Structure 1
Amino acid sequence: MTSAERLNGLSGTATGQRVFRSAIERFAKQGFAGTTVREICSDAGLTTAGAYYYFASKEDLLYQLIRQGQTALIDTAQRALAGVDDPIDRLALLIRTLAATHAVFPMLTRVADGELGALASQGPHLAEILALRDAYEGFWEETLAAGVSSGAFAIADQRVTRLSLIAICTGVSGWFSPAGPLTVEGVCDELAQIAFRIVTARRGGNAVSVDQTPRFELSLLPQFPWDAEGVS
């Protein structure tokens, strides 16, 4: 059994929950470079030797966390968009799912978004993660292109628009608080309405309200119990 297979198996155990929780907390608060395997092991109640049975290096652990996050984004988008063809509705769902994921799992998403550069540039891990990221962004590319083609969106530069909309959503992990004035659903609605203004979303020549688009149930989000700051 490879270390990747052992690490995958570990994620479903109590020991695995402790390892992933410690890693995600320390990577989010101290950064990948500022975290040691010894610290993660100490938090999780493992010896360093015992930890290396499950992962070959600190980078292996980071890769597994990012991979789970990226895979979950793709799966969530696929479920949300299934059977939805209208580009306005699709954009609303993409905004809602990405913003909600960053609100509910702030530590995982900060690590996945901010520590990608810690993966070795010549190793297989980075190539796989970049392929997953490109696959996810493909949903956005297709949606914006369809909206422009149908006349639902008026966009000068689709690439800049796509990157800007994604950045608005990923930024939620840095400022959202469940103790604040907005719920997760409220944040998603606000950002979807902002997105509609950015792309000049129109139906029949009229501006579109988020109230006219499909909702997204938070229960459809992936489950990452080791993201201790997650919002239930």
Structure 2
Amino acid sequence: MNTDMTRNDFRTVAREALLAAVQGLVLAIVVLPCGLAFVVLTLVSLAFVPLGIGLLTTPAVLTGVRALADTRRKLAAQWCGIHVPAVYQPLPRGGSPWTRTFVLLRDPQVRRDLLWLPVDMTAGFVTALLPALVVFYPLQGIMLAAGLWRAYVPATGESTWYLFVPVSGQGTAFLAAVLGVAILAVGWRRTPRLLAAHFRLTRAVLGGDAELAERVRVLTETRRDAVDTSAAELRRIERDLHDGAQARLV
């Protein structure tokens, strides 16, 4: 029974490691082009704001950035159970392009989304790629020992590097395989944590103080409602006093 439990535990951990590696690889493939595209579009759109063209394009571009950030929030919750809060200010209905653009640019959450783009392209790309490297890179070392080194080492005899091991023959290829197995043995259990580190970075940049901002917004609205109610009550009292005095004079 202990053997079966150990075998099931090994399969579960291996499946989780492979899944995290594939998910990280998908993120790394998508992160760089999407982030670069939205950074370029945002900069170009903001540059055209003084000409008036950016007033029409900037809301659309920022909406796309928000959609990308919302997708990452959903993946963080679905894949790693990490909640990334977000509080966006409502846009005015029927506002002019100028109003919509500057309401968006004044929104702290939108500015946080824009700050997240370059971070996601750099540190986010690395943290997303790490789980895939931990699982798939050791396979290259094993394949080098299986004879793949002959395809890498040119006829001149120059060595090819596997991490810090110069592979120039079968002996050094075996060293590369040993290194690959060591990397896989140490890191394969940690691949889900590495993927979670990517989403924690996302939460640190995207989330920020969103929950606190939401509490402040609710408190501000409650205070505004209380002030409006008090002002209406004061006006009613003043009107009653005025009407009463006038009636007595009549």
TM-score, normalization by structure 2: 0.26
Considering only CA atoms, is the larger Rg found in Structure 1 or Structure 2? Answer: 2
Higher helix share: 2
TM-score, normalization by structure 1: 0.27
